[in-house]
Amino acid sequence: MPAASPEAPSAEAIGLIQRLKLPAPSDTAYAETRFVHVLRKPLQLRGELHYGGAGVLGKRVDDPYRETTKIANGEVEVQREGKAARTFSLERAPELQVMLASFSALLGGNADSLAAQFAIAMTRHDAGWQLTLTPRAPEIARHLRDLVVDGRDAEVRCVTLHESDGDASVMRLSALATTSLPEVTPAAIANVCRGSAAH
């Protein structure tokens, strides 16, 4: 059970999150890099994210393979090319449910809902801002170390997921989705996300 918030997010963070609210539906191109310890090389994916309002999310992978994931009404449907669609209920995976709900809250500008699940820290730098969301519930923390959101003004540029086993996934959004990376390392991508590198 999540404990009562020990440190509430700052008014600035709350204001920022509220300004991040996307109109529903919105579609955003993304480029994702996944660092997985069982793989010798990071996975690189490209596609489009869909936000259809509270609880309705979609992720389409266009490259290097084609896959569509739709999340609505607590059901996840995964459609892979040449395979039958698979559906499963998020109720069977509460950690996943919390993560997706948080993602939906972030896109919906719902600061209260986010603050209930995460401790939220905000920093500002020359080129923009960074939100660090650390899960409060131990069963979520078992899988997810933190969620880092980088942005500039009212625009989210990157969402980085640090898993507890050291694996990480960085998703560059909209403008950053099409840029090429100088080097595929966590540090290099972090720089791109902060906007302090070549850009």
Partner 1 sequence: MQLMPMRILIVAIWLILTAALAFVVQRTLVVSSDLRSFMPPPKTADQQLLLDQIGEGPASRLLLLEIDSKTASGERLAAISHDLAKSLASDARFVRVLNGEGDLAALDPKLLPYRFLLSPTLDDAHFDVAYLRDQLQQRIEDLASPAASLLKPFLARDPTGEILVLAQRWTPARTPRMCAGVWCNTNGDVLLLVETRAAAFDPAAQAAAIATLRESYAKLPGASDATLVVSGPGYFSVLAATTTRAEAEWLSGLGTAGFVLLLLVAYRSGMLLLLAAMPIVSGALAGVAATSLVFGPIHGITLAFGFTLLGVAQEYPIRLFSHRRAGASAQESLRGVWPLLRLAIASACIAYLAFFASGVPGLQQLATFTIVGLLVAGAATRWLLPSVMPAHFRDVADARWLERFRLWLDQLPRLRWVPWLLLAISLAMLIGAPTPLWQNDLSALTPVPPDLLKREGELRAALGAPDVRYLLVFEAPTADAVLALSEKITAQADAWVAHGSVDDVELPSRYLPSLATQLARQAKLPDRKTLGAALDEAQRDTEFEPELFMPFLDDVDAARTLAPLTPKAFAASPIGGRLSAMLAERNGRWLGIATLSGVHDAQALETIATTTSGAVRLLDLKSASESLVASYRARIGAALLVALVLLSLAVAVAFRDAARAWHVIAPMSLATLLALALLRICGVSLSLFHLVALTLAAGLGLHYALFFERRVDAVDEARRTLHATIVCVLSAVLVFGLLATSSVPVLRAIGATVALGVAFHFCLSTIMARNSQARQKELADHVEAVP
Tell the smallest beta-carbon distance from residue 73 to partner 1 (Å).
11
Give the whole-angstrom CA distance, residue 2 versus residue 22.
27
Give the whole-angstrom CA distance, residue 129 versus residue 177.
18
| 11 touches partner 1 (CB under 8 A) | no
Interface residue with partner 1 among 22, 29, 54, 100 (CB under 8 A) is 100
User: In the Cβ-directed half-sphere of 132, how many Cα atoms lie within 13 Å?
Assistant: 8
In this chain, which stretch among 9-17, 107-115, 163-171, 174-182 interacts with partner 1, using CB under 8 A?
A: 163-171
Contact 133, 147 (CB under 8 A): yes
Cβ closest to partner 1, residue 26 vs residue 44 = 44
For partner 1 (CB under 8 A), the number of binding residues is 37
| 85 touches partner 1 (CB under 8 A) | no
Q: What are phi and psi of 22, to 5 degrees?
A: -95, 150
| 78 touches partner 1 (CB under 8 A) | yes
Interface residue with partner 1 among 10, 15, 63, 88 (CB under 8 A) is 88
Give the whole-angstrom CA distance, residue 63 versus residue 44.
8
Burial 77-94 (b: 16+ CB within 10 A, else e): eeeeeeeeeeeeebeeee
Stretch 120-159: interaction string toward partner 1, x if CB under 8 A: -------------------x---xx---------------
Peptide bond connecting 138 to the previous residue in cis, omega within 30 degrees of 0: no
Summarize as ranges the residues that interact with partner 1 (CB under 8 A).
Answer: 1-2, 32, 34, 36, 38-41, 43, 45, 59, 61, 65, 67, 69, 71, 76, 78, 80, 88-89, 91-96, 99-100, 139, 143-144, 163, 165, 167, 169
